[in-house]
């Protein structure tokens, strides 16, 4: 079963697996529905009715069955509600990681078991390889590094890796993938990629949170690290760590968001140096290279999707969390984002920054 979003990547993945001799079934997930207003906003984002129709047409072209699985309730519970609660805590969540963890691999693989399907497949840009000696599966970066998605896949387990195929991981360019789609007459060959969170397509997180929760953001104080009031903010959902623009205040020197304190409804500002951190702690850990981390491990640590992995040492603490110490302080370490550990192109594991 191939998870087909109606985009070019998953469509080509299905076609490639057919060429490799697999019996392929296309599956599209219905993930989001709130009301007509939100559906209208979502017309150009993933998982819309248009995407379902595109996936269905690709399956018709390929001559394979197409099914739609309804995961709306699970998506609301495990992705959207998680997103909202993270913002309430003053964190900056990554809903794509939550969706991969709970929907695109966990629930999808359970459905595969129910239907006696051998493998699931996706259009992700990453590679899965098995060690011939140990039998353990490794998650590796895609050869197309600008498109690599291994960061958002760090939650995959050995069971999931053993049953998952990612045929695009060995392609070196997106143009090559589009060329295959165009050559084979797939209607999605030139379809634009969706860049936004699927349930917040206009990128206005604050407006979404207010509509979804029925709560209105309350103004509160900008403060420095010593608690001195510097001005008034427009509500904590409007800010994230490292932010400089859009503060609505002027200072003799540039000021940045360095912390968010929801219990005080306060946003903490500091100078550039105060945005940098030489360490972090992370929980909700998942290890891929090994079952657990026993000794301190030197690695490259990536603290957000667009971050260049930095030299660091990761070690376990007595409370079951991990501590990461960077060789060089890193900018805007943000609670709620993932930190993922690499050994060259191989994912060691990862967790959620606390």
- Are residues 300 and 256 located together in one domain of the fold? no
Residue 322 lies in a domain: yes
The pLDDT assigned to 43 comes to 39
Whether 99 is a known active-site residue: answer yes
For the domain that residue 120 is a member of, what is the CATH number? 3.40.50.620
Tell me the C-alpha distance between 269 and 247, whole Å: 10
User: Among the options 46, 96, 198, 299, which is catalytic?
Assistant: 198
Exposed/middle/buried for 33, CB within 10 Å: 0-12, 13-18, 19+?
A: middle
The pLDDT assigned to 191 comes to 85
- Are residues 16 and 57 located together in one domain of the fold? yes
Residue 205 lies in a domain: no
Whether 198 is a known active-site residue: answer yes
**Total number of domains in the chain:** 3
The pLDDT assigned to 44 comes to 42
Distances (CA, A) of 179 to 63, 131, 188, 191: 20, 32, 11, 12
The pLDDT assigned to 212 comes to 93
pLDDT tens digit string along 30-87? 987 544 445 444 434 456 778 899 999 999 999 999 999 999 999 999 999 999 999 9
Task: Write out the residue range of the structural domain in which residue 311 sits.
Answer: 275-353
- Are residues 238 and 307 located together in one domain of the fold? no
pLDDT tens digit string along 292-301? 999 999 999 9
pTM of the full structure = 0.93
What is the helix (H) or strand (E) element at residue 299, kind and residue range?
Answer: strand 297-302
Which residues share a beta bridge with 121?
2, 165
Q: Which residues of the chain fall short of a pLDDT of 50?
A: 34-37, 39-45
User: Among the options 46, 59, 96, 99, which is catalytic?
Assistant: 99
Residue that is written with structure tokens 């550039």 in the block: 272
């Amino acid at each position: 079963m191939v998870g087909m979003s109606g985009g070019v990547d998953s469509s080509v993945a299905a076609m490639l697996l057919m060429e490799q001799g697999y019996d392929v079934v296309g599956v599209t997930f219905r993930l989001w529905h709130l009301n007509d207003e939100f559906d209208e906003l979502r017309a150009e984002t993933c998982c819309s009715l248009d995407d379902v129709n595109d996936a269905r047409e690709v399956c018709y072209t390929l001559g394979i069955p197409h099914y739609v699985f309804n995961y709306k309730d699970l998506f609301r519970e495990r992705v959207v509600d998680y997103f909202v609660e993270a913002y309430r805590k003053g964190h900056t969540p990554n809903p794509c990681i939550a969706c991969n963890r709970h929907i695109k691999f966990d629930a999808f693989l359970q459905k595969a078991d129910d239907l006696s399907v051998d493998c699931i497949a996706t259009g992700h840009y990453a590679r899965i390889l098995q060690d011939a000696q140990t039998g353990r599966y490794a998650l590796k970066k895609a050869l197309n590094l600008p498109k690599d998605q291994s960061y958002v896949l760090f939650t995959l387990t050995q069971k999931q890796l053993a049953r998952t195929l990612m045929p695009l991981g060995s392609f070196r360019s997106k143009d090559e993938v589009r060329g295959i789609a165009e050559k084979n007459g797939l209607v999605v060959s030139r379809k634009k990629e969706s860049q936004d969170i699927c349930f917040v397509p206009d990128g206005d997180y604050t407006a979404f949170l207010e509509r979804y929760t029925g709560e209105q953001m309350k103004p509160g104080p900008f403060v420095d690290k010593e608690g001195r009031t510097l001005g008034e903010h427009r509500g904590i959902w409007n800010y994230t760590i490292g932010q400089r623009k859009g503060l609505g205040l002027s200072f003799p020197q540039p000021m940045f968001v360095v912390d968010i304190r929801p219990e005080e409804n306060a946003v903490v500002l500091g100078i550039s140096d105060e945005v940098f951190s030489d360490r972090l702690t992370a929980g909700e850990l998942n290890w891929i290279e090994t079952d657990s981390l026993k000794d301190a491990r030197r690695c490259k640590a990536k603290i957000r999707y667009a971050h260049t992995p930095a030299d660091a040492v990761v070690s376990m603490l007595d409370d079951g969390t991990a501590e990461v110490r960077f060789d060089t302080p890193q900018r805007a370490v943000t609670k709620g984002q993932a930190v993922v550990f690499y050994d060259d192109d191989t994912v060691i594991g990862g967790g959620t920054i606390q």
